[in-house]
Amino acid sequence: MVNQIIRIFIISMLSSGFVIAQPFEYVGSQKCKSCHKSKKKGSQYNAWEESSHAKAFDALFSPEAIAIAQERNLKLPPSESPECLECHTVGFGKGGYEVMDAAFWNADPEDKDAKKAIKRMNGLKNVGCEMCHGAGDAYKKKKIMQGIYSDSLRAEDYGLVTITPEETCLKCHNDRSPSYKPFDYKKRVAEISHPFPDGM
């Protein structure tokens, strides 16, 4: 009897559109490339690749970043400091980018799992797609994206985050940043604009 009640409860929740919250995994910007590179679809990946967001991790190795880390008395270099990585990588501290040791990066090239893990971790360096759009393992599939854009599926059920203009950017572009400069949202968002073409 109890099993039957539980079964009825689960079926009624699923049929009413209620989806149990689940964690989504970060997959890396290279997973977005296959569907978001072509000119016909808006070349979003290309726009990102040419932006300073795509070079945010490399910036942590600059003399300026190293000097800032020293001024702030950070215990680790910028490329390993949580204070820097939270805005220069995707999902740091939330199941995304992690600081890995030499053994990870120098794994046996024949080890397919290690090779896949390295590729994923490289894809989580920089301010990648998922930094703003949410962890992509569920919505990366073309069929899911089509369902979201046709309104037959709810974006949030698949981890796709609705961008809140300005608030999304201000998570990192704020005065907590040691290299903060007054943030002109309209000007800066135009620099990274990557819309779909009209009619898509």
Name the pTM for this structure: 0.83
Residue 104 belongs to some domain of the structure: yes
Give Cβ neighbours of residue 108 (< 8 Å, ≥ 6 apart): 114
Evaluate whether residue 15 is within a structural domain: no
Q: Residue 16 — very low, low, confident or very high, per pLDDT cuts 50/70/90?
A: very low
Examine residue 89 and state whether it is found in any structural domain, yes or no: yes
For residue 159, which amino acid is it?
G
Q: Which residues of 63-76 are buried (b: 16+ CB within 10 A; e: fewer)?
A: eebeebbeeeebee
49, part of any domain? yes
**pLDDT tens per residue across span 19-71:** 445 589 999 999 999 899 999 889 999 999 999 999 999 999 999 999 999 99
Residues paired with residue 125 on neighbouring β-strands, in sequence order: 89
The sign one gets for the Cα dihedral 60, 66, 69, 71 is: negative
Residue 155 inside a domain? The answer is no
**What is the rounded distance in angstroms from the CA atom of residue 38 to the CA atom of residue 152?**
25
φ, ψ for residue 125 (rounded to 5)?
-75, 155
Residue 146 domain-assigned? Answer: no
What is the residue-wise DSSP string for 41-92? GT-HHHHHHTSGGGGTTGGGGSHHHHHHHHHTT-SS-GGG-HHHHHHHBSST
Asked whether residue 37 is assigned to any structural domain, the reply reads: no
180: its two tokens: 């903060």
- 77-91 pLDDT tens trace: 999 999 999 999 999
Quick one: pLDDT band at residue 118, thresholds 50, 70, 90?
very high
**Residue 4, domain member (yes or no):** no
What tokens were used for 182? 């007054």
Q: How many helices (H) and strands (E) does the chain have?
A: 11, 0
Domains: count for the chain: 1
Residue matched to tokens 């894809």: 123
- Give the number of other Cβ atoms within 10 Å of residue 91's Cβ: 21
Q: pLDDT for 140-163, tens place per residue?
A: 999 999 999 899 999 999 999 988
Instruction: Identify the domain containing residue 56 by its residue range.
Output: 43-127
